[in-house]
Structure 1
């Protein structure tokens, strides 16, 4: 790997952030407020899901982070440096796929990547062909490498755009709707690739409107709606707390025992009793039910999904297709 330039951002510690914004705001001409006072923190080494319905301000935020547009107010730091002022120092360490790939339709997929790589002043021309071949292989386009890009399907173009972001090792990978246009198999392949990149130490910032996608691959997430940040944190913390579910014909007695054990919000429905679980070991609660003579046919936590959490936070849902 090439030695980093003297202007390389200072390395982050394990607990530091690779993206940090403070009151980041973008108002377009005519008064449209696209991003409103965004305070965002992306931990180093995370797969960070940037979640929200179309039109929530995700792409505008990414364009500000990458120095493509200037914020109206507020600040953004990427890899420890202010953006857009430090664009030249930061971008060589960032791979990005934003608003779909820009391709030369008359060139083959391979030649498009060669063009991308040749435009990178840090790229070693001696290893260009090998890196292009490796990037094509990683996104499953080796067999179509010689085909002109204008003949590519939407999903193939998306793969080629992702390949362009993988030509060099990157400290941060920013992907805006990377599975757009892909079939279910292609989605699974891209998700697997994201996990692989993260395991190699790359921080991945993944924008999507697909709740299922975020839940499957991300360690952390933020939820946007109408230009504002609703919440952010580890994905496991964002999902609503699981409910304790007991299946039994003795619902009344089970409800009584659960209340004695400290469970809250106990609800009886037919042969099920659900409750907000109390502190302590679930095994002890199960034992208390059995000791009270409750015939327990099913016992466990029923986890809520990220969709449940989003609806609870915003009062609305959006595309959850995988």
Structure 2
């Protein structure tokens, strides 16, 4: 069954015990009637790394705040770990680790003492093993060497890591991360992605909000796309890529050749558009004939060979999440807005 989309609002998300997060018609309106989240039906499978994708301002953080019981919805319902939120917060939240809108830290305390304070606030935490948990969490996010430094001296990326460490003090069924790589350098981003994969392999469901398309594609098994407060589509990352082709997108051709100029000429003659050349790699959009069926790639390959173009590799690229977003919304993905 294809994923539900904004164009098909009548298709309800089935209630399923294997969903760690479910929402039905979840809505948040602010003064003046402005809708931050508009009738959201979301289903997050247990054991997934679920990417919650959308430009800044699309309603992602507002949704997370409702899921965690930090704000009340205007309408609709949310269930987390099978229980209604915010009503069951006391039962649900001990099994959830969260990093939302950046960590709130005590600047005058060291990183280690911040984590001790967070751990002490958890009624389920055994104080006898507190130092062991704190040290393990610090090492896991790469802050072991900076554990004694005052938090006010931490960089933005280090503060993000410390907030993530706080979410990892206890084993969690669900980890909710709102823009977890904000402020991190490329190496730090890679480390966080590796950590997310490790957590998922250990059985933790990870719900990861981001406006970075590349981040979602690299680490997530499932994703939902938000725009202007509304859910556009959701499903596995592979299914979302397939929606571009299934809905009339025609895919992107990729040719590796030592003759990029000749390949470009031949592809243009056969209707390939938006051709781009990067070294020995030529890419372009496959043409769609009047009957609506995309051109046969094998015919293009044969045309290249007949023209004497040396073809080292030839194939269709998988649609990216950026392709999905543009195809479904007709808009670019504004990562700055």
- Partner residue of 1:307 out of 322, 326, 329: 322
Q: Could you tell me how far 1:307 is from its partner in structure 2?
A: 1.1
Q: 1:115 to 1:56 in 2, by over 3 A?
A: same
Q: Is the 8 A contact 2:220 2:237 kept in 1?
A: yes
Q: 1:303 to 1:114 in 2, by over 3 A?
A: same
Q: CA RMSD in A?
A: 3.0
**Any stretches of 5+ residues in structure 1 without a counterpart?**
1-13, 256-265
Please name the residue that 2:50 is paired with.
48
Q: Is the 8 A contact 1:245 1:300 kept in 2?
A: yes
Q: Could you tell me how far 1:295 is from its partner in structure 2?
A: 5.6
User: SS of 1:39's equivalent?
Assistant: strand
Q: 1:276 to 1:30 in 2, by over 3 A?
A: same
Q: Could you tell me how far 1:101 is from its partner in structure 2?
A: 0.4
Q: Could you tell me how far 1:302 is from its partner in structure 2?
A: 2.2
User: SS of 2:323's equivalent?
Assistant: helix
User: SS of 1:316's equivalent?
Assistant: coil
Please name the residue that 1:82 is paired with.
84
Please name the residue that 2:218 is paired with.
216
- Partner residue of 1:243 out of 245, 249, 252: 252
Aligned positions of 1:215-234 closer than 5 A: 215-234=217-236
Please name the residue that 2:127 is paired with.
125
Q: Structure 1-normalised TM-score?
A: 0.82
Q: 1:268 to 1:18 in 2, by over 3 A?
A: closer
Please name the residue that 2:332 is paired with.
317
Please name the residue that 1:267 is paired with.
272
Q: Could you tell me how far 1:245 is from its partner in structure 2?
A: 5.0
2:181 is the alignment partner of 1:179: yes
Aligned positions of 1:24-39 closer than 5 A: 24-39=26-41
Structure 2: distance between partners of 1:268 and 1:174: 41
Q: Could you tell me how far 1:303 is from its partner in structure 2?
A: 2.6
Q: Is the 8 A contact 1:289 1:296 kept in 2?
A: no
Q: Is the 8 A contact 1:211 1:319 kept in 2?
A: no
**Any stretches of 5+ residues in structure 2 without a counterpart?**
1-15, 246-250, 276-281
Q: Could you tell me how far 1:269 is from its partner in structure 2?
A: 8.4
Q: Is the 8 A contact 2:252 2:283 kept in 1?
A: no
Shifted more, 92-101 versus 14-23: the winner is: 14-23
Q: Deviations over 1:164-196 (max 9, x none)?
A: 000000000000011111111111111111111
Q: Structure 2-normalised TM-score?
A: 0.79
Q: 1:269 to 1:227 in 2, by over 3 A?
A: closer
Structure 2: distance between partners of 1:294 and 1:79: 60
Q: 1:31 to 1:140 in 2, by over 3 A?
A: same
Structure 1: distance between partners of 2:133 and 2:210: 28
Q: Could you tell me how far 1:127 is from its partner in structure 2?
A: 1.1
Structure 2: distance between partners of 1:272 and 1:166: 43
Q: 1:17 to 1:272 in 2, by over 3 A?
A: closer
User: SS of 2:190's equivalent?
Assistant: helix
Structure 1: distance between partners of 2:132 and 2:124: 16
Q: Could you tell me how far 1:251 is from its partner in structure 2?
A: 4.8
Q: 1:177 to 1:273 in 2, by over 3 A?
A: closer
Q: 1:16 to 1:297 in 2, by over 3 A?
A: farther
User: SS of 1:41's equivalent?
Assistant: strand
Q: Deviations over 1:179-236 (max 9, x none)?
A: 1111111111111111111111100000111111111111111111111111111112
User: SS of 2:52's equivalent?
Assistant: strand
Q: Is the 8 A contact 2:47 2:205 kept in 1?
A: yes
Q: 1:68 to 1:232 in 2, by over 3 A?
A: same
Q: Is the 8 A contact 2:273 2:287 kept in 1?
A: no
